[in-house]
Amino acid sequence: MSETGTISILLAFAITVYGAVASIVGAKTKNRDLIRSSENTAIAICVLLLIATVSLIHGLVNLDFSLKYVALNASTDLPMIYRVTALWAGQAGSLLLWCFILSIYVAIVVYQNSKARKLMTPYVNATLFSVLIFFLILIAFVESPFEKLAFSAEEGRGLNPILQNAYMAIHPVTLYIGYVGVTIPFAFAMGALLSGRLNDDWLKLSRKWILFSWTFLTIGLLLGARWAYLELGWGGYWAWDPVENAAFLPWLTCTAFLHSIMIQEKKGMLKRWNIVLVTITFFLSIFGTFITRSGIISSVHSFAQSNIGPFFLAFIAIILLFSFAMIFYRFDDLKTEARFDSIISRESAFIFNNLLFLGAAFTVFLGTIFPILTEAVQGQKVLVGPPYFNRVNVPIGLVLIFLMGVGPLISWRKASKKNLVNNFMYPVILGLLTSVVLVVLGMREITAIISYSLCAFALTTVFSEFIKGTNVRASRGENYFKAFLKLVSRNKRRYGGYVVHIGVAIIVIGITSSSVFVDTKEATVNPGESFKIGTYTVAYETLHQYSNDAKNGTRADLVLYKNSDRVGYLNPEKNIYKYEGNREINQETEVALRSTFKDDLYIILSNFNEEGTATFRAFLNPMVSWIWAGGIVVLLGAIITMWPTPQLRPQQSFAKYGLGSKDGAVKV
Amino acid sequence: MEYILITLIVLGITIFICYPFFTKTGSENLFEEDKKNYTEIRKSDLQLLEENKLELYSAIKEIEFDHGLGKLTDEDYKELRESYIYEAAKVVRKIEELSHKNHLSIEDKIEQEIRNSKNISSQIKDGIEEEVKKYRTKKD
């Protein structure tokens, strides 16, 4: 199957080049056949990359060790599921996955556009094909997943044990779906610039893709955090690691973009800003892939030896130069006649929001590349750790939570002071009350008090929006439940967005609690002894040694008591893997975790000796589960926002946010 | 066997991509923008005006919605709504001039468009009619 895979990739590359050229020539000459042929190319590319992907999976599943990629990432002891997920364990396989996901997106977009072709459509298609060309060059000529070994190995190196985890199995895929999805709005923006069609078409056509990408970036980030929490054994879930930052950066700018496009839709403003923002978001998604894949973060010297790093740098340079050249070329055409009605308006709140997200992105970007810059200039890497990122991003995050509460309360265009006082009164009272109660209860950590109070403020505003809207509907005779359902279904974007905000507030509460109030303990105990942490008593019973095909393991038996009541058993492990793994890590700790909504008890077996004396590190992390629960709420809100609405006739499209209806009842 | 598969794939892809060159296509317009009945000279102007008009109508509806939820005082609501209706009237007048459809007065056109939405309570409809009369008086 390797020949099939290789030929498929080479053919995909050739026809992608044809597709890009045919789109442009077809648009310029208005040649219908050429344009239709280029559209067929999109589907053909997707089929070819499907064949290539299936071929590689076939090689992994059947352990074809004549393939270098299989020999490096699989082994005979690897469970079947991880043989499949090894597709994205290594560089060549993950690049193939990138290409395949992008080809699916391209096929869908090209097909949808072909039903109602606009003047910008061929240029959108050409942009998509151009991005595909870059990644196909990498897997066709630089880092082929089907590279053969001179001899067929008898055994493979196996998959890194820390990657053999359900969360790590799906985290890269969800992140890639998000990363790759950002290509679509970028392509629409370039299509608008190239064709000169600078109305809102590009925004309307790409809006669902932006939401979809953002949703999967969010899921990918949370899954990655969950994996880090369970597998890396340091008690936390986010360390401002460069690879984490690489995924966080496009999420920040994508979130800003999601808000600023509303201003363009409502007021026709920020046209230039939105095109710049989508370009930056796409650049950051490519930059993130570059950071993760090129080896540049571990060392500039690794980068110099990396075979794909220079290609990524060249591609990034081309994207930025070309995009900004087009933006400057169309600069005057992107101006707006619209006006700001008032500084106290939702538009202002959104603009502040954008500036803060961009500020956060800039500081994270700077902190991420700082070691690279210092090593390149001084020959010595100067590391930037969590204190820098936290010092800058925590205040920004708190202001963003405040704006999250302010946004729903003020209207578009103009908000009067009297109106603001009426709308803000209860949320502000509840926010202040929260801080008073926390201080009275003994809390003294200022950051936590501010964070909880702002979350209370933001949640109050969101819930009041639901209550007010439902009451208005119910006052016309609908029962409350039906009124609530119709309120959400008739205004999915608004109320789906509010649900997302609820999820974000829950996540922030979880992050605040688990960051500020974490309790740690290190205890060296003999069998039969116990140690305390928080309200828990951990009794150490014994150590077990065991062995299987993959590893030699040591498991500790712990009994957990809470206020003298036995509540469960925990079994942290320390394992030595028999096969090397592709990162030469052969030791691994299995965290023991007891998770409730109130707190997580997290125990690691650090060390032990032959007499059975063991050293444990324990963390009591309050409300970590709120982070994962908040993520589910965010996902629910995103689904509501993306849920399709029946197509309205054009003359009714502006009326869906109106107050009246056929039967005279209020429709909100 | 694998080489037969590869050959079939290459052939199939080639046929699929070249297929449009060998089939007759319809005479429909290639791009959506070509389908509208605008004169060549005024095509882009009319389209922009139509989009502007829809944006203004959307703005009016948004103002009504926010007022219904108590986010706008009655004074702010009235002031904003009047100013957007006035701007909408100007845009509709320009559309009329370009498309030469003068059988309706501008205010009747606005009233008809808003009435066509079928989303307006009688209370609001009366309000719009009053507004329209005001602008007609101003125009006269």
Helix (H/G/I), strand (E/B), else coil: A200: coil
- What phi and psi values does residue A118 have, to the nearest 5 degrees? -110, 170
Q: pLDDT at residue A62 above 80?
A: yes
Give the least confident one: A225-229, B39-43, B48-52. B39-43
| Stated length of chain A | 668
Q: Which of A103, A121, A144 finishes a domain?
A: A144
Give the least confident one: A249-258, A289-298, A459-468. A289-298
Q: Give the residue from A57, A70, A63, A82 showing the smallest Cα distance to A577.
A: A82
Mean of the pLDDT values across residues A630-648? 85
Q: Which of residues 419-478 of A touch B (CB under 8 A)?
A: 419, 422-423, 465, 468-469, 472
Burial zone of A648 (CB within 10 Å; 0-12 exposed, 13-18 middle, 19+ buried): exposed
User: Is residue B115 domain-resident?
Assistant: yes
- Quote the pLDDT of residue A404: 92
Quickly state the pLDDT bin for B108 (edges 50, 70, 90). low
Q: pLDDT at residue A60 above 70?
A: yes
Q: How far apart are alpha carbons A504 and A291 in whole angstroms?
A: 27
Q: Do A36 and B25 touch (CB under 8 A)?
A: yes
At A11-40, the pLDDT tens digits run 999 999 999 999 999 988 888 888 889 999
Q: pLDDT at residue A94 above 50?
A: yes
Contacts A653 to B, Cβ<8 Å: 54, 58
**Residue of A654, A662, A666 best to disrupt the B interface, most CBs of B under 10 A:** A654
- To the nearest whole Å, the CA of B140 is away from the closest chain A CA by 28
Q: Give the residue from A286, A333, A298, A267 showing the smallest Cα distance to A102.
A: A286
- Quote the pLDDT of residue A527: 92
User: Is residue B5 domain-resident?
Assistant: no
Q: Do B17 and A44 touch (CB under 8 A)?
A: yes
Pairing of strands A551-562, A587-590: unpaired
At A202-222, the pLDDT tens digits run 888 888 899 999 999 999 999
- Domain total for chain B? 1
Q: Give the residue from A163, A128, A369 showing the smallest Cα distance to A246.
A: A369
- To the nearest whole Å, the CA of A127 is away from the closest chain B CA by 18
% of residues, chain A, pLDDT over 70: 90
Quickly state the pLDDT bin for B100 (edges 50, 70, 90). low
Q: CB pairs below 8 Å between A and B: how many?
A: 166
Q: Do A658 and B71 touch (CB under 8 A)?
A: no
- Give the dihedral of Cα atoms A81, A83, A88, A94; nearest 10 deg: -140
| Among A331-340, A343-352, A457-466, the range of highest mean pLDDT | A457-466
Quickly state the pLDDT bin for B125 (edges 50, 70, 90). very low
| Among A141-155, A287-301, A405-419, A598-612, the range of highest mean pLDDT | A598-612
* DSSP category for residue A571: -
Burial zone of A584 (CB within 10 Å; 0-12 exposed, 13-18 middle, 19+ buried): exposed
Give the least confident one: A247-251, A470-474, A575-579, B92-96. A575-579
3-state secondary structure labels for all residues of A134-196:
HHHHHHHHHCCCCCECCCCCCCCCCCCHHHCCHHHHHHHHHHHHHHHHCHHHHHHHHHHHHHC
User: Is residue B2 domain-resident?
Assistant: no
Q: What's the mean per-residue pLDDT of chain B? A: 69
% of residues, chain A, pLDDT over 90: 49
- What phi and psi values does residue B29 have, to the nearest 5 degrees? -65, 145
Between these two residues, A135 and A666, which has the higher pLDDT value?
A135
- Quote the pLDDT of residue A215: 94
Tell me which residue range forms the domain holding A611.
Answer: 520-625
Q: pLDDT at residue A583 above 60?
A: no
Quickly state the pLDDT bin for A149 (edges 50, 70, 90). confident
Residue with tokens 């930037």: A384
Closest in B20, B51, B55 to A33, CB measured:
B20
Between these two residues, A47 and A161, which has the higher pLDDT value?
A47
**Whether this model's pTM surpasses 0.90:** no
Between these two residues, A396 and A295, which has the higher pLDDT value?
A396
Helix, strand, coil fractions of chain A, as percent rounded to 5: 65, 10, 25
Q: How far apart are alpha carbons A44 and B5 in whole angstroms?
A: 16
Between these two residues, A24 and A474, which has the higher pLDDT value?
A24
- Quote the pLDDT of residue A456: 96
3-state secondary structure labels for all residues of chain B:
CHHHHHHHHHHHHHHHHHHHHHCCCCCCCCCHHHCCCCCCCCHHHHHHHHHHHHHHHHHHHHHHHHHHCCCCCHHHHHHHHHHHHHHHHHHHHHHHHHHCCCCCCHHHHHHHHHHHCCCCCHHHHHHHHHHHHHHHHHHC
Q: Do A118 and B73 touch (CB under 8 A)?
A: no
- Domain total for chain A? 2
At A342-387, the pLDDT tens digits run 777 777 888 889 999 999 999 999 999 888 888 888 887 788 888 8
Q: Do A419 and B57 touch (CB under 8 A)?
A: no
- Quote the pLDDT of residue A579: 59
Q: Which residues contact A340 (CB under 8 A, 6 or more apart)?
A: A269, A347, A348
- To the nearest whole Å, the CA of A409 is away from the closest chain B CA by 7
Q: pLDDT at residue A140 above 90?
A: yes
User: Is residue B60 domain-resident?
Assistant: yes
User: Is residue B65 domain-resident?
Assistant: yes
Cβ(A196)–Cβ(A115) under 8 Å? no
Q: Do B51 and A51 touch (CB under 8 A)?
A: no
Q: pLDDT at residue A328 above 50?
A: yes
Q: Do B76 and A414 touch (CB under 8 A)?
A: yes
User: Is residue A133 domain-resident?
Assistant: yes
At A592-621, the pLDDT tens digits run 999 999 999 999 998 888 888 999 999 999
- Quote the pLDDT of residue B132: 53
Q: Provide ipTM, 2 decimals.
A: 0.72
- Quote the pLDDT of residue A280: 95
Q: Do A32 and B13 touch (CB under 8 A)?
A: no
* DSSP category for residue A609: -
Mean of the pLDDT values across residues B38-61? 66
| Among A297-311, A397-411, A611-625, B4-18, the range of highest mean pLDDT | A611-625
Between these two residues, A421 and A353, which has the higher pLDDT value?
A353
Tell me which residue range forms the domain holding B73.
Answer: 37-139
Closest in B17, B47, B61 to A654, CB measured:
B61
Q: Do A655 and B61 touch (CB under 8 A)?
A: yes
Quickly state the pLDDT bin for B49 (edges 50, 70, 90). confident
Q: What's the mean per-residue pLDDT of chain A? A: 85
Q: Which residues contact A467 (CB under 8 A, 6 or more apart)?
A: none
- Quote the pLDDT of residue A148: 86
User: Is residue B118 domain-resident?
Assistant: yes
- Quote the pLDDT of residue A222: 93
Q: How far apart are alpha carbons A92 and A631 in whole angstroms?
A: 31
User: Is residue B124 domain-resident?
Assistant: yes
Give the least confident one: A254-263, A305-314, A602-611, B93-102. B93-102
- Quote the pLDDT of residue A582: 42
Quickly state the pLDDT bin for A563 (edges 50, 70, 90). confident
Q: Do B120 and A660 touch (CB under 8 A)?
A: yes
Q: How far apart are alpha carbons A219 and A231 in whole angstroms?
A: 18
- To the nearest whole Å, the CA of B126 is away from the closest chain A CA by 12
Q: pLDDT at residue A523 above 50?
A: yes
Residue B5 token pair: 């598969």
A570: left (phi over 0), alpha (psi -120 to 50) or beta: beta
Task: Tell me if chain A has a CB within 8 Å of the CB of B69.
Answer: yes
Q: Give the residue from A152, A153, A150, A292 showing the smallest Cα distance to A220.
A: A292
